[in-house]
Structure 1
Amino acid sequence: MHIHNSEHLHISKLILCSPNLAAAIVGDGHIGQILVCKLGGLSWSVRAYDMVKNFQDMAFYQGKLYAIANYDEDLLVVNISQDQSTGDPQVSKIGQAIKGEPFHSVWHEFGTMDILANKKLYLVESHGSLLMIRRKIWCWSKQASDTDPEASRPIVAGPNEFEVFKADFEQSRWVKMTTLGDEQVLFLGRRCSRAMSVSQYGMSGDQIFFLDDEEENLKQYYYSTEITSFCVCDMRDGQVDSPLPKASWKRCDEMRPVAWLFPQD
């Protein structure tokens, strides 16, 4: 299967790797490919036999482009070469840098509800290390009725839970972290994620701020309210709080891009 077979392609992540190179994850929300282009170029480079996966995120770290897919949580290194005929960049090879130990969720019965954890992954550079953040969204659905087993059973999003891992390239593994540090905060979003030191802004550290990424979530589950916002997870106790009603916006069926804005370094 290739992404050109889909009628609903969109860019889920776009990053500037260098002054002359940009990379993007393009797909339909379920599968995608990594495309590259030269700044000022007229087209993106992709080949028919390039890897197709459920890429969740990518990051440019210490001169290399890395990507991660939802299912296996392998950290992949994307090698980029130059097309001999056009001089344009192209993905020459995608190799494995770290073998993942993925979390796979199954449905659990709880009273009259079925509960399942959906998963989202993020890559962020922090203090010179590459981090993978695993976000679990616990979803619930009413159990099928004996009288109407074919009735619609919407899947509704519930609480969030986070785990943070650091890339150990020497041992080719993910190492679980229990803290980000007293001055460090992560800002997570599908389009942009970043780690920042926040002591100068009078903020508490060891926290994760995150967005709903609702335009792709709607394909997997629904929400019980029309109003959304960003939320904050405290790594010290795992508690998740919402700043509502200080900052909020209404959900809609159309794509509503939301991203973090950061001060200049």
Structure 2
Amino acid sequence: MSFYGAVLSASPDLGSKYIVAASSNHKEHETLALWQPGMMSWHVCSGVDIDGPKDLTFFQGKLYVLMRYTPHLFAFELEEDDRGFMVSRVQCCLTELLHEHSFQAGGALNMVVWRGELLLIVRHYDDNYRREHNVLKVEVFALDMSTNPYGLTEIHSLNGDCVFVCTGGCKSFPASTHEGVEGDLIYFVPDVWKPYDTFVYSMRDGRMRPFAANLLPCDFDVPEKNLDFPVWLFPSE
């Protein structure tokens, strides 16, 4: 098994029996795998159609799994006891609703936890997106979990915070706590190890600008075309 991203239900420093959820490549399928300290092997989730690139996050006691290229959002309920944990319920809580907001094939989806809310970040591409990856617009929605399926409310401000979006996951934090980043901006870093979708989006006016990042060649045994992307180390809480 190989992993493309992982999230923890709690910090190991807190002494709790946390759960690790990972997007894994298992037998040529990219699926969901779960693990907990003390387990001898990973538990690979089956029976749910979640094969493909995805975002993962723990939020309000549930594990949320978002498919990146189809408007499907799953909520996993996990129960724990002295023997470990089990998946007690899986709910598909977002499917066709995005079609009301003009989401079509050719878009990309991400999610991020921000100030006690779960946000959905949507990129819309033109008809040539598979070849050019030209982004037409970006939309950000707060998920309303009081309805079934979940509702969407578009937002236009991060209240001075910023968001980083990349293949390994998304992170929001106050821009004022870190030098070099600006508030109300979403920083998109390349996806799938290619320099596509590398831009900065302003929540204030909807403008997009290039990412000012020029990396020098290195001596690693990596094709040159795969060197032209930044690597981000998210700050700890």
Same fold (TM over 0.5): yes
Determine what percentage of the aligned residue pairs are the same residue. 22
Q: Which has the larger radius of gyration?
A: 1
For residue 56 of structure 2, what is the aligned residue in structure 1? 58
Q: How does 1:212-231 map to 2 (within 5 A)?
A: 212-215=190-193, 230-231=198-199
- d(CA) in 1 for partners of 2:154, 2:204: 11
Superposition deviation, residue 129 in structure 1 = 0.5
Q: Judging changes above 3 Å, is the alpha-carbon distance between structure 1 residues 249 and 120 closer, same or farther for their aligned structure 2 residues?
A: farther
SS of equivalent residue, structure 1 residue 156: coil
Contact 2:68 2:110 in 1 (8 A): no
- d(CA) in 2 for partners of 1:72, 1:159: 17
SS of equivalent residue, structure 1 residue 214: coil
2:224 is the alignment partner of 1:248: no
For residue 143 of structure 2, what is the aligned residue in structure 1? 167
For residue 221 of structure 1, what is the aligned residue in structure 2? none
For residue 222 of structure 1, what is the aligned residue in structure 2? none
For residue 138 of structure 1, what is the aligned residue in structure 2? 126
- d(CA) in 1 for partners of 2:75, 2:142: 16
Superposition deviation, residue 212 in structure 1 = 1.1
2:175 is the alignment partner of 1:208: no
For residue 232 of structure 2, what is the aligned residue in structure 1? 260
- d(CA) in 2 for partners of 1:48, 1:178: 35
Structure 2 gaps of 5+ residues are 13-17
Contact 2:21 2:32 in 1 (8 A): yes
How many residues matched? 219
- d(CA) in 1 for partners of 2:75, 2:117: 15
For residue 26 of structure 1, what is the aligned residue in structure 2? 24
- d(CA) in 1 for partners of 2:104, 2:138: 15
Superposed CA deviations along residues 113-159 of structure 1, whole A, max 9, x for unmatched, are xxxxx322111011110001112343628xxxxxxxxxxxx823223
Q: How does 1:62-211 map to 2 (within 5 A)?
A: 62-70=60-68, 72-81=70-79, 87-99=83-95, 100-102=97-99, 103-105=103-105, 118-138=106-126, 140=128, 155-159=131-135, 161-172=137-148, 173-201=150-178, 203-211=181-189
Structure 1 gaps of 5+ residues are 1-8, 106-117, 142-153, 218-226
- d(CA) in 2 for partners of 1:191, 1:38: 20
- d(CA) in 2 for partners of 1:55, 1:83: 31
Superposition deviation, residue 95 in structure 1 = 1.0
Superposed CA deviations along residues 39-68 of structure 1, whole A, max 9, x for unmatched, are 353311025434434352111112211111
TM-score (norm 2): 0.75
- d(CA) in 1 for partners of 2:72, 2:196: 31
Superposition deviation, residue 182 in structure 1 = 4.1
